[in-house]
Structure 1
Amino acid sequence: MFVVIMGAGRVGYLVAKLLEGDGHDVTVIETDKERAQELSLNINGLVIEGDATDPKTLEEANIKQAHAFAALTGKDDANILACILAKNLNPNVYTALRISNPKNKMIFERVEDLKKYFNFIISPEEIAAEYISRSLANPGFNRVLFPKEGAEIVRFEITPESWVAGKAVRDLNLPRDSLIIAIYDRKGNLTIPSGDTKLPEEGYLIVFAKAGVLEDVKEIFERKKPGPSPS
C-alpha cells in the first residue's frame, strides 16, 4: 500500500515508521526544512519539503496514485483542507484526519456533507484524556490501547444499510480468531454481547481480532444489504 503523510511531528513520524515496518511505501510532506531533512535520514520513503494544502505539493507526492492520505499535523484547519484537496485530486484515496480539538471531531463525525472527505477521524488528545481519566477512576487495570501481539481492536459502524444490522451475533459466522466485545446503539447504550444478542439497526461495535482474519471481519461488517432486483 502507498501512503502519503502530512506532518513529520511525533505522530506523523511514528505512523511512517510503523507503516514502513509493515512493508508499506510511505511519502511524507513536511513544511519545516530542518525537520524534513532530519526525517529523510530516518525513513526509507520520500520526504518532501512543502505544504500539503497546496495541490501542487500533493501532486508532487503522487497523491493520485496513493491508496491512503493521513493529515497528522497539530493544526486542525490545515489537516481539514489537505484532506479535502486530497479527495478532490483522488476520490478513491482513504483519508485519515487528525483533530486536536475534540469539539471539531464531533462536528466532522456528525455532519453528513463532510463525511465524504474524511474516512477516519482521530483525536490523540481525546484518546489520551480518556485513557488517563479511566486509569485514575479505576486504578489497578493494565490497559493496552494498541496491542502488538498480532491482534487489533477495531471499530465498525452499523447503518440501516449494513448487512449485519438486526442480525444475531451467532448468525454472523465470524472467523474463529475474532470476537465482538462491545455493541453500542445509536444513542450510545452499551451491550456486552452473547450469541443471542441482536445488532442494532444503527450504531457501532468493537471487535477484537487477530491480524490474519481482519480482512474477513472487515468484509462482513462493511457488507451492504442487497438492493432491489432490477425490473
Structure 2
Amino acid sequence: MYIVVAGSGMIGGVLIRKLIRSKHDVILIEQDKQLCESMYAETGVVAIHGSASDISVLNEAKIDKADVFVATTANDADNLAATILAKSYGVSQLIVRMRDPAYEKAYRVAGANTILRVTDLLVNQMVFEIEKPEVQRITTIGSGKAAIFRMLVPKAARVSGKSVKDITSIRKFPPQCVFIAVYSHKSGEFTIPRGNQVIQEGDELFMISATDDIKAASDFINDTRKKFF
C-alpha cells in the first residue's frame, strides 16, 4: 500500500518502522529537518521536509496516489488541516492522532475514518487499521489481550460452504479464535453457531480472539484459494 505519514515523533517513528518492515511504500512528511534526515538514514523512508498542511508538500508526496494518510503530529490543528487536504485529494482512508478531545467532531466532519486518542493510542492498532480495514473491532477484553470483532465472508472465500467444525479443525486456523455469532444477510437470520453450522459467502461473522491472532484469522477467512487444507 502507498501510505503517507505526517510526523515522525515517538508515535509516527514507530509506525513508519513497522510499516516499512511490512513492505508498504511509505512517504514521511516532517517539519523537523533533523528528524527527516535521521529517519531516512535509519529506515530509508522517502522523507520530505515540510508541513503536511502545505499543498506543495502534499503534491511532492504524491498524495493523490495514497491509499492511506496518517496524521501523527503533536498539533491537532495541523493534523486537522492536513486531513482536510488529504480528503480533497481523494484519499479514502484517513487516520489521525488526537490530543485534544475538543477536536473530535471537527475530525469526523473532515472525514477521518479512524481517530486515535493519545492516551490510549497503540501503534499496533494503527497498523491493524491500515492493513485490515475489512475487520471491525467491537471491543477489547482483558486489558487488550483479546478482542471481539466482526467481518464479512468475501466472495469466493475458501471457507464458504464449510462448517464451523471443519474450519476450526484446520491447523492454520488460529486456535485462540472462536466463532460466537453469524448473521446471514441472505436470510436475515442471526444464529449462535454450532459445529455443524455452514458458513456462506456474504455472512457476517462475529468472533472472539487473542489480539495477536486477529490478523491470522482475517487472512484465513479472506483466503480465496480453492484448496481447503
TM-score (norm: length of structure 1): 0.58
Identity of aligned residues (%): 23
Equivalent residue, structure 2, for 1:55: 55
1:119 maps onto 2:113 in alignment: yes
SS across alignment from 1:53? coil
TM-fit CA distance, 1:65: 0.9
Equivalent residue, structure 2, for 1:223: none
Equivalent residue, structure 1, for 2:42: 42
CA contact (8 A) 1:155 1:206 kept: yes
SS across alignment from 2:36? helix
Cα distance in structure 1, aligned partners of 2:50 and 2:61:
10
CA contact (8 A) 1:27 1:61 kept: yes
TM-fit CA distance, 1:108: 4.8
Which amino acid in the other structure matches residue 116 of structure 2? Answer: I
Structure 1 stretch displaced more, 7-16 or 30-39: 30-39
SS across alignment from 2:119? helix
Q: How many residues align?
A: 164
Structure 1 unmatched ranges of 5 or more? 129-141, 164-172, 183-192, 197-204, 219-231
TM-fit CA distance, 1:2: 1.0
Cα distance in structure 1, aligned partners of 2:46 and 2:27:
5
Cα distance in structure 2, aligned partners of 1:154 and 1:50:
40
Give CA deviations for 1:75-119 in whole Å, capped at 9, x if unaligned.
Answer: 111101101101101x243110110123433x357x6xx1x6211
Equivalent residue, structure 1, for 2:215: 211
SS across alignment from 1:104? helix
Give CA deviations for 1:169-191 in whole Å, capped at 9, x if unaligned.
Answer: xxxx8874444689xxxxxxxxx
Alpha carbons of structure 1 residues 29 and 214: separation in structure 2 relative to 1, 3 Å = same
CA contact (8 A) 1:4 1:28 kept: yes
**What pairs with 1:21-36 in structure 2 (closer than 5 Å)?**
21-36=21-36
SS across alignment from 2:48? strand
SS across alignment from 1:42? helix
Over the residues paired in the alignment, what is the CA RMSD in angstroms?
3.6
CA contact (8 A) 1:102 1:126 kept: no
Structure with higher strand content? 2
Cα distance in structure 2, aligned partners of 1:216 and 1:92:
28
